[in-house]
Homo-oligomer: A and B are copies of this chain.
Amino acid sequence: MEERKISAAVIRRLPRYFRYLSDLHEQQVERISSKQLSELMGLTASQIRQDLNNFGEFGLQGYGYNVNYLRDEIRKVLGMDKINNMVLVGLGNLGQAILRYNGFAGKGFIFRAAFDRNPTRIGTEIGDLRIRNINELNEYLDSHDVDIVVLTVPKGAAQDIVDSLGERNLGIWNFASMDLVGRPGLTIENVHLSESLMRLSYCLKHERKMDE
C-alpha cells in the first residue's frame, strides 16, 4: 500500500476506523458504503473518502468498501500485522489492571514480562507472568525482542527508567502523569487520565462538546 505523509488528525482517527471495521466484520458485514460508514461513525462521507484515500484506492463507485479488505489494510498501516511484544513496568493498581486486561492480546499486543522495584511484589505472579526485579529490565531487553515498554510508575520514577533504556528503539506507552524527555529511537504515547477527566470537567461546566 502506498503512503503519503499522513496528518496527525488522520492518524488519530485510524484506530477508530479499525474498531468500526472490526465490529462490522464481527457482524459479518461484507461491504459498506462511505455513506453508511459515515452515519455509523458520525463523520461526513467525504471526510471518510478523504481519510482513506491517503492509503490507496479502496472504495468502488456503487459498491462501497470491502470491509474485510479495508480492515486488513488499516491493520497493516497501524503495524498490527505482526505481534507487538510488550513489557510492563510498575505493578501498582493501574499496572495490574492493564496487565490483566485481556483486550490487547487479541489485537496482537502481548505482555511478555513485568517489572517492579517493590520487593514484596517481585517473584509474585499475575496471570502467567512472574514479576521481575526492575534491575533486570535491561538484561531482559538485551535478550528478548521487545517493541513496547508500558510505564505505569509514579511520575517521579518514569524519567529515570526511560533514561536507563540506553540507545534502544522502543515504543513507550506512558501512564505516568508527566511528559517524558525522549531521544531519537524512542516513540512516546502518553495516556494522561487526569487530563482527560479535567477536559470532561471543562465540557461539563461550559456545556461544551469536544469535536473529534
Chain A residues at the B interface, C-beta cutoff of 8 Å = 3, 6, 8, 11-12, 14-16, 18-19, 23, 41-42, 77-80, 84, 93-94, 96-98, 100-101, 103-104, 107, 109, 147-148, 171, 173, 177-179, 187, 189, 191-211
CB distance from A80 to the nearest CB of B (A): 6
CA distance A173 to B200 in the complex (A): 7
CB distance from A82 to the nearest CB of B (A): 9
Q: Which of A77, A98, A100, A195 is most buried by chain B, counting CB atoms within 10 A of its CB?
A: A195
Q: Which residues does chain B contribute within 8 Å of A195, judged by CB atoms?
A: 15-16, 19
CB distance from A68 to the nearest CB of B (A): 18
Assess whether B194 is in contact with A103, with CB atoms less than 8 Å apart.
yes
CA distance A192 to B20 in the complex (A): 13
Given contacts A79-B204, A187-B209, contact A11 B199 (CB under 8 A): yes
Given contacts A11-B208, A15-B192, A203-B187, contact A198 B107 (CB under 8 A): yes
CA distance A201 to B173 in the complex (A): 10
CB distance from A24 to the nearest CB of B (A): 13
Assess whether A103 is in contact with B200, with CB atoms less than 8 Å apart.
no
Name the one of B12, B41, B196 contacting A199, with C-beta atoms under 8 angstroms: B12
CB distance from A195 to the nearest CB of B (A): 4
Q: Which residues does chain B contribute within 8 Å of A94, judged by CB atoms?
A: 97-98, 101
CA distance A41 to B3 in the complex (A): 31
Given contacts A147-B204, A194-B107, A205-B79, contact A199 B97 (CB under 8 A): no
Q: Which residues does chain B contribute within 8 Å of A189, judged by CB atoms?
A: 196-197, 199-200, 203, 210
Q: Which residues does chain B contribute within 8 Å of A206, judged by CB atoms?
A: 3, 79
CB distance from A118 to the nearest CB of B (A): 16
Q: Which residues does chain B contribute within 8 Å of A205, judged by CB atoms?
A: 78-79
- The 10 tightest CB contacts between A and B, nearest first, are A79-B205, A97-B97, A15-B195, A189-B200, A15-B198, A93-B97, A79-B201, A171-B204, A93-B100, A8-B211
Given contacts A80-B198, A173-B196, A201-B78, contact A207 B191 (CB under 8 A): no
